[in-house]
Amino acid sequence: MSRTGHRAVSWPRRAGRAVDPYVAALLATVALAALLPATGGAATAVGHGADLAIGVLFFLYGTRLSTRAAWTGLRQWRLHLVVGASTFALFPLLGLALGGLAPFLLSDPLHTGLLFLCVVPSTVQSSVALTATARGNVPAAICAGTYSSLAGMVLTPLLAAWLIGSEVRFSADGLLAIGTQLLLPFLAGQALRRWTAPFVIRHTKALALLDRGSILLVVYTAFSRSMAEGVWHQITPVRLLSLLGLAALVLGVALTLTSFTARRLGFGREDRVAIVFCGSNKSLATGLPMAAVLFGEAAGPVILPLMLFHQLQLMVCAVIAGRWSRRAPGGTGRD
């Protein structure tokens, strides 16, 4: 039982184990889209399949979070405010700060993608896994990641329209599409949780494969569309290296500032762990379908910065989580 009184999902405690296979799977998916992009009727079928897969993914998110835990988590409003400020204020400000530099290093689609990365909500899965590894406040991480995803369904399109401008297809129909694809399945998972939660808890490992398979299918769909549009000639190795450097810079600043802020505000060690990981991580599962709605056929290059950042956050934060675990009370090192 967790400290919130509900039976928590058995999230993996060693987040680093899944990094390498997942990175390889993402790279293989991009390569497959480059060599065998879905076109015509196949593209339509794959697109519908990706939409369905993301809906199932958010249904599972709704099933995994007990209603009691969600309401109990509201008591830690200070923690959630700090995470929200990092996700939806600090990151956009970092995007603006890089605005004068990025256009000289990146193509327009990659620059757009870097700005989009800065307005995507926090992740649930990796934040919780990393927090568990570092012996942090797991229930708070579950709630913080979930609240961020829900808030992002409104804030991400609004912030994207502000930062990026006319390239974003911002409209009431777009917000409705995001809500239909992400929010409604989540609410359905909450409503049916009484019957579906036992099955989900028993099959956590198998459903984790479904989670990642859903993301891979969305990646394949987006990159296939981009191949059909012929936009990849703008992306050179130098620009990719520049993008990797800028993503690393953003991650480093986010990790440093969330850690500093959590200490200055007097949070305990377990809460600080949750704040750092939830406040510095970004969600592929939420960002990819939003990019498809907001950018349409041009979503392929736009999601590349998010993909790179996601892999960086997994690898860097897995190292940090392991170190914090050893230094935690009861660990092998000093606190």
Q: What is the predicted pLDDT for the residue at 194?
A: 87
Per-residue pLDDT of the chain (335 residues; tens, 9 = 90+): 444 334 444 444 444 444 457 667 877 887 888 788 887 788 788 878 878 888 888 888 888 877 777 777 778 899 999 999 999 999 999 998 887 777 778 888 888 899 999 999 998 878 888 898 899 998 889 889 889 999 999 999 999 988 888 778 766 677 787 888 888 988 898 889 889 888 888 887 777 777 778 778 877 887 777 676 665 666 778 888 988 999 999 999 999 999 999 999 999 999 999 999 999 999 988 888 888 888 877 777 888 899 889 888 988 998 899 899 888 776 555 43
Rg (CA), the chain: 19
The domain segmentation of the chain, as residue ranges, is 15-325
Q: ∠ CA(217), CA(291), CA(298), 5° rounding? A: 90
Whether the Cβ atoms of residue 150 and residue 275 lie closer than 8 Å to each other: no
The one-letter code for the residue type at 60 is L
Average pLDDT, the chain: 82
pLDDT given at position 232: 62
Torsion angle defined by CA atoms of residues 163, 166, 168 and 172, in that order, rounded to the nearest 10 degrees: 110
Q: Which CATH class is domain 15-325?
A: mainly alpha
Cβ pair 305, 113 in contact under 8 A: yes
283 within 8 A of 104, measured Cβ to Cβ: no
Q: Are 316 and 251 in contact (CB under 8 A)?
A: yes
Q: Are 189 and 60 in contact (CB under 8 A)?
A: yes
Q: Which pLDDT belongs to residue 246?
A: 93
SS3 state at 66: coil
- Tens of pLDDT, residue by residue over 86-121, are 999 999 999 988 877 777 788 888 888 999 999 999
pLDDT for res 155 = 94
Q: pTM score, two decimals? A: 0.80
Please give the structure tokens belonging to residue 287: 């960002």
pLDDT at residue number 228: 66
